Structure 1
Amino acid sequence: MSERTHIFIYSKHDESSLQKKSILTEMISKQGFNTVDDADSANIIVSLGGDGSFLQAVRKTGFRQDCLYAGISTTGSLGMYCDFHFHDMETVIQAVQHAEIEVRRYPILQVIVDDNPPFYCLNEFSIRSNIIKTFVLDVEIDGLHFETFRGDGMIIATPTGSTAYNKSVNGAVVDPLLPCFQVSELASVNSNKYRTLGSSFILSGQRQLTLRLQQDGNDYPTMGMDNESLSIQHVESVKIELSDRIVKTVKLKNNSFWEKVKRTYL
């Protein structure tokens, strides 16, 4: 960490967040770090807020591969991405000074909608009907037809994203050390005509998932990438796979993924 001294702080622009950002800037400057106004000049990117702010920080700075990300919670509790409390920054500084931190590597999804450029998701990609009507997806794995889905939509989650939207629809919680992604259904309709697995399934990071929308007039879906929406007028297919990119985050040695899961849910 000694060679990483240029820090960009991402925060909301309300008065409370900006005040905390000012306090944090002064605090880390006293420890020999430099704060920068341009994220491209940073080698450490810090988010202030909750997990949503962390996701925004990663997305707004372009899923940087050459820097570390750190989440500092200002909500009073730690999240799945925020390893540090704003009101306990002295502990964080001591941990940095005594090398009591580690680097965690999170896999991310690459999503290509039709012929558009790829975009990336740290938590999940979701696709849902945009009107009060089910829609139909042909699901392919590595180019082979697997099932035909009819229902409200699907969630494709990374291991870290498995604890979010995916978990709320009874998807499995997956260890982020496993390079994979998970597919979960939203209100599937099973009949003689449409038949799905009926449960979440996990694909290796070497697989490619393709969702083809049947062109029946309901081909303008709502698509979510983490906590942002993607609006495309007409969709024919979506290709999803695990990216060769990763997000590197700073963690305390005594704060593993499963300790976070236990603290959050048990």
Structure 2
Amino acid sequence: MRGTQAPLKFAITSKGDETSNTLTQKIKTYLLDFDLQYDEDTPDLVISVGGDGTLLYAFHRYCRRLDKTAFVGVHTGHLGFYADWVPEEIEKLVIAIAKTPYQVVEYPLLEVIIRYINGGREAKYLALNECTVKSVSGTLVIDVEIRGDLFETFRGDGLCISTPTGSTAYNKALGGAILHPSLEAIQVTEMASINNRVFRTIGSPLVLPAHHTCMLKPVNDVDFQITIDHLSLLHKDVKSIQCRVADEKIRFARFRPFPFWKRVRDSFIAD
């Protein structure tokens, strides 16, 4: 729970369409009327207005202060997994933010470290949904190591490494399992693997616990297209791609229960 000893500092990220921008301005005006502080640099609470993509953008904008910032989402389009609130509930949400100490719920993230052949430098990323690895041209051929041991040599279109919260996104489309977001795990899912008399992969998603590291090592000298959530990056001279459950977590501000399995049902099954 957040204490009430200091005025809460908030920021708002909008999807950018007319509906979201109008709602953003309304929320900002209401919260300022309650004597809360608008602070885009060091907010205690970030309100995302739009869809899941908007919250992903907000997450990456504030990923350097995850231990100090909590997120809450308002969806202005289709139902989102990261958005608890709808536009008709704005007054209720504003009063809750201004008057109610919120509960913080923490969910695991994916840490991706890319190391290069020339050594010295490395790139570290955090993903809220997933990381995907593909070859820029042709089939991806890459060794998959788990806890330092070679598990398989993968050949196919690519690999998707997802968080539990991201398991309902691209991972699900690839046939991966839906994991409850409270689980400390990552999931490795194949994209169109090659399986014949010569080549063989496991052919099933792998769910790895927090103390297991997955290391991807290129077999040949190719360039890689690596995505971190919505960010697409070209990487050359890659030596290895290390994936594990991150030490950092994302913090969501909860003002009421968030029934995950109901959200899954409403998104994929219910009429």
CA RMSD of aligned residues (A): 1.9
Task: Please tell me whether residue 70 in structure 1 is matched to residue 85 in structure 2.
Answer: no
Task: Please tell me whether residue 25 in structure 1 is matched to residue 31 in structure 2.
Answer: no
Q: Name which of 28, 35, 38 aligns with 1:35.
A: 38
The aligned residue for residue 177 of structure 1 is 182
SS at structure 2 position matched to 1:20: helix
SS at structure 1 position matched to 2:247: strand
**Per-residue CA distance 1:154-178 (angstroms, 9 max, x = gap):** 0000000000000001100001111
Cα drift, residue 125 of structure 1: 0.5
Pairing 1:185-264 to 2, within 5 Å after superposition: 185-215=190-220, 217=221, 219-264=222-267
The aligned residue for residue 83 of structure 1 is 84
Cα drift, residue 102 of structure 1: 3.1
Whether the 8 Å CA contact 1:8–1:44 is kept in 2: the answer is yes
Moved more, 139-148 or 6-15: 6-15
Whether the 8 Å CA contact 1:63–1:247 is kept in 2: the answer is no
Distance 1:90 1:189 in 2: 53
Are residues 194 and 4 of structure 1, via their aligned partners in 2, closer, same or farther at CA, if it must alter by over 3 Å? farther
Task: Please tell me whether residue 6 in structure 1 is matched to residue 12 in structure 2.
Answer: no
Cα drift, residue 254 of structure 1: 2.9
Gapped runs of 5+ residues in structure 1? none
Gapped runs of 5+ residues in structure 2? 116-120
Distance 1:7 1:55 in 2: 17
**Per-residue CA distance 1:160-211 (angstroms, 9 max, x = gap):** 0000000001100001111001000000001233211111010011110001
Q: TM-score, normalised by structure 2?
A: 0.89
Cα drift, residue 122 of structure 1: 0.6
Whether the 8 Å CA contact 2:36–2:98 is kept in 1: the answer is no
Cα drift, residue 214 of structure 1: 1.1
Q: TM-score, normalised by structure 1?
A: 0.91
Identity across aligned pairs (percent)?
A: 32
Q: Name which of 129, 136, 152 aligns with 1:130.
A: 136
Cα drift, residue 223 of structure 1: 0.8
Distance 2:102 2:79 in 1: 16
Distance 1:263 1:15 in 2: 26
- Residue 173 of structure 1 aligns with an amino acid whose one-letter code is I
SS at structure 1 position matched to 2:264: helix
